[in-house]
């Protein structure tokens, strides 16, 4: 474990296949990656390179076939259905096409994020959902159904739904694909802002280079392998509870102000030296 504590996601030697028999095809090849708590990581690459498969495996939507996937400290290899469901409840999902329930209002859709936790609704559920809608700027749209909302507003409702239960990990799959440039940027900026505010980690699959300025780190995939690991334009600042006292002071080192060395000795870390 690093000085930054248990990583939000730790993947080691991950391989995955689709199909059986003659049609069996390998889509992931011995992948390693570490996603630190509070980090906003983008996963990019051409279609079919395996990035969505990584997302579904980390989210517990598929069973891990080979290798290790640890999400907030829990191993998913060999996990049964109940452990996979428990893992899903640790994740907030934002989908490409928002996947809101047509028959529900914005407030009710957000409430589903709390109901999904399987513990019954807390007495202040509606209040929490309204607050979350206010955070995404939709406090006046709580009673509207999706057909009364714009594309950007729908995606913001989906973000509110993903965040309302305050999961440690947000998994997003091309959330800007159906949005125009400005709206797409606003939506991801909002997601990043709210996630950072609440100490959540974000793993987002995207092709959209218009939002790269919002990433702490960008992983590039090709043919089921990670082929690039570079710093995004944003500056990664780990959650304050993980920083040693000295790290709070601005000390420009190696030209990556605000980053933290992996050995925890204070100062900053170059994103290109972050663990895969």
Partner 1 sequence: MPTRRLPIFGRTIFRRTPLGWKQLVHSKGRLAIATAGVAFAVLLVFMQLGFMNMLFDSAVVIHRKLNADIVLLSSTARDFSNAGTFPRTRLLQALGVPGVADAEAFYVTTRDWIKQSDTNRGERGQMLLMGVRPDFKAFQDPVITAQQHLLVETGAALFDRQTRGNFATFRDAVERGERPQTELGGRTVTLVGTMQVGSTFGLEGALLVSDQSFFEFAINRVPGAPSVGLIRVEAGHDVEAVAAAIRARLGGYDDTMVMTMPAFIEHSRNRIQRDSPVAVVFGFGAAIGMLVGLVIVVEILSADVHDHLAEYATLKAMGFTNRSLIGVVFEQSLILSVAGFIPGLAASLALYAVVRSLLTMPIGMTLERLLLVLFLAVALCVIAGAIAMRRVRKADPADVF
The residues that touch partner 1, with contacts defined as CB under 8 A, are 52, 55-56, 59, 61-62, 85-86, 88-89, 93, 95-96, 99, 101-104, 108, 111-113, 115-118, 120-123, 125, 161, 173
CB of 249 to partner 1, least distance (A): 40
Q: Based on CB atoms, which residue is closest to partner 1, 118 or 255?
A: 118
CB of 112 to partner 1, least distance (A): 7
Instruction: Using the Cα atoms of residue 139, residue 142, residue 144 and residue 147 in order, give the sign of their dihedral.
Output: positive
User: What are the strands of the beta sheet with 169-173, ordered from one edge?
Assistant: 91-94, 169-173, 201-205, 40-44, 217-222, 225-231
Both tokens assigned to 93: 């999902």
Q: Based on CB atoms, which residue is closest to partner 1, 72 or 104?
A: 104
Q: Using CA atoms, how far apart are residues 199 and 193, in angstroms rounded to an integer?
A: 10
Beta-bridge partners for 150: none
CB of 76 to partner 1, least distance (A): 14
Rounded CA Rg of the chain? 19
Q: Based on CB atoms, which residue is closest to partner 1, 5 or 151?
A: 151
Q: Based on CB atoms, which residue is closest to partner 1, 56 or 229?
A: 56
CB of 17 to partner 1, least distance (A): 14
Q: Based on CB atoms, which residue is closest to partner 1, 78 or 250?
A: 78
* CB distance 154 to 100 below 8 Å: yes
CB of 262 to partner 1, least distance (A): 31
CB burial string 38-58: b at 16+ within 10 A, e below: bbbbbbbbeeebbbbbbbebb
CB of 82 to partner 1, least distance (A): 8
The strand pair at 25-35 and 40-44 is best described as unpaired
Q: Based on CB atoms, which residue is closest to partner 1, 89 or 270?
A: 89
């Amino acid at each position: 474990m690093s000085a930054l504590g248990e990583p939000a996601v730790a993947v080691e030697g991950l391989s995955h296949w689709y199909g059986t028999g003659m049609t069996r095809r390998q889509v992931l090849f011995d992948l390693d990656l570490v996603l630190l708590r509070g980090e906003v990581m983008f996963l990019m690459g051409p279609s079919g390179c395996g990035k969505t498969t990584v997302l579904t495996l980390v989210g517990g939507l598929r069973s891990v076939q080979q290798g290790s996937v640890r999400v907030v400290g829990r191993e998913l290899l060999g996990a049964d259905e109940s452990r996979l469901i428990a893992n899903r409840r640790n994740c907030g999902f934002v989908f490409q096409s928002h996947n809101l329930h047509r028959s529900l209002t914005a407030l009710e859709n957000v409430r589903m994020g709390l109901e999904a936790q399987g513990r019954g609704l807390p007495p202040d559920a509606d209040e929490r959902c309204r607050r979350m809608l206010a955070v995404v700027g939709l406090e006046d749209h709580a009673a509207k159904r999706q057909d009364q909302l714009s594309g950007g507003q729908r995606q913001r409702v989906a973000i509110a739904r993903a965040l309302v239960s305050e999961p440690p990990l947000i998994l997003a799959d091309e959330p800007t694909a159906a949005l125009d440039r400005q709206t797409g940027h606003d939506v991801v900026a909002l997601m990043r802002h709210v996630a950072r505010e609440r100490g959540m980690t974000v793993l987002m699959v995207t092709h959209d280079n218009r939002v790269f300025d919002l990433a702490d780190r960008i992983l590039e995939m090709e043919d089921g392998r990670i082929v690039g690991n570079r710093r995004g334009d944003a500056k990664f600042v780990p959650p304050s509870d993980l920083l040693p006292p000295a790290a709070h002071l601005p000390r420009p080192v190696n030209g990556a102000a605000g980053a933290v060395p992996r050995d925890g000795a204070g100062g900053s870390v170059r994103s290109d030296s972050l663990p895969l």
